[in-house]
Amino acid sequence: MVSESENPDDVGTHSGTPAPPLHVPVMADAVLAALAPAPGGRHIDATVGGGGHAERVLAATDPDGRLLGLDADGAAIARVRARLGARFGDRLRLRQANFGELATVAPAEGFDGVDGCLFDLGLSSDQLADRERGFGIRTGGPLDMRFDTSRGVPAAELLASLDVPELTALLRRYGEEPFAGRIARAVVDARRGAPIRTAEELAEVIARAAPGRAPGRRRVHPATRTFQALRIAVNEELAALEAGLAAAVDLLRPGGRLVVLSYHSLEDRIVKRFLRAERRGCTCLPEAPVCICGRRPRLRLVNPKGDVPSQAEIVANPRARSARLRAAERLAA
């Protein structure tokens, strides 16, 4: 998976021809160490993506471990089935579903009381390279950005429906874009002439409106944060993440592990806040003399500060540079 804080135009060339996708799972060794899979274990990969982490978990749970892989993107499910299905057979169960639906999908597939649940948030190289989806800035294509193209409103339609204050608020909330107002005004001005229908058209509007990178800073396209914001809004990602994390804790058996890879501050804040709340348990006000809520801690933090990729991995896989891994273990009920 890749981060929105990375440069989405890393996939492809300046001529608009995408380079062959190469799926490299981020922090694969650290993920495996945090999940601690054992033979016979049952795990959920809530964002199966290219299947890199799932493949390693299945190998570590030989001979009879099972894994449920979810992804909202049907194309991702098809790719993983084609690549891993014959090797792992019925040990691998795949389902096209958003991780926000985990509470109902996992039990329906026979995956409750599991040994581990992994969330690898962000985009895969295959998604960025897909010219029909509009995720990447230079790969072009319709401005859609939906993981599941059978649901929701494409990004182009959302972009066409917002006025300047609404678009400014969206870019600030989901993209933490410092030039949100300037970009929103430029987009609204541009669409008066013609609708913005493609990723390239939107990127060009933003490039004209937003300042270039400061000297000495790494190359990041000025549209990066806007693309992040639109994608999060279109897919309602943050609400789905909160629902998915809550479901994962319910599904874990005592001793089971929850592992999350996040790539930008919005996601990481949600994950960190959730894990701390589950570690604390009690929700009573600090001034309460005794606990009256009865809520007990459900998680133990495995790595309280989170882990980041090594410098060697960043050199080998630059898209890992903004990843942060957080892990927790389910306590007895």
- Summarize pLDDT for 238-295 with one digit per residue, the tens: 999 999 999 999 999 999 999 999 999 999 999 999 999 999 887 777 777 777 777 7
Co-location of 98 and 52 in the same domain: yes
Co-location of 46 and 113 in the same domain: yes
- Summarize pLDDT for 161-219 with one digit per residue, the tens: 999 999 999 999 999 999 999 999 999 999 999 999 998 999 999 999 987 664 444 56
Decide which of 211, 234, 257 is a domain's last residue: 234
CATH code of 301's domain: 3.40.50.150
- Summarize pLDDT for 74-123 with one digit per residue, the tens: 989 999 999 999 999 999 999 999 999 999 999 999 999 999 999 999 76
CB atoms within 10 A of CB 262: 25
Alpha-helical segments (H) within 212-330 = 224-235, 237-251, 265-280, 311-316
Decide which of 198, 215, 234 is a domain's last residue: 234
Number of domains in the chain: 2
Co-location of 197 and 324 in the same domain: no
Co-location of 118 and 248 in the same domain: yes
- Summarize pLDDT for 304-315 with one digit per residue, the tens: 999 999 999 999
Q: What is the 3-state secondary structure (H, E, C) of 57-120?
A: HHHHCCCCCEEEEEECCHHHHHHHHHHHHHHHHHHEEEEECCHHHHHHHHHHCCCCCEEEEEEE
Co-location of 31 and 121 in the same domain: yes
Residue 124, pLDDT score: 61
Domain presence at residue 156: yes
Residue 181's domain spans which residues? Answer: 143-234
Domain presence at residue 308: yes
Domain presence at residue 134: no
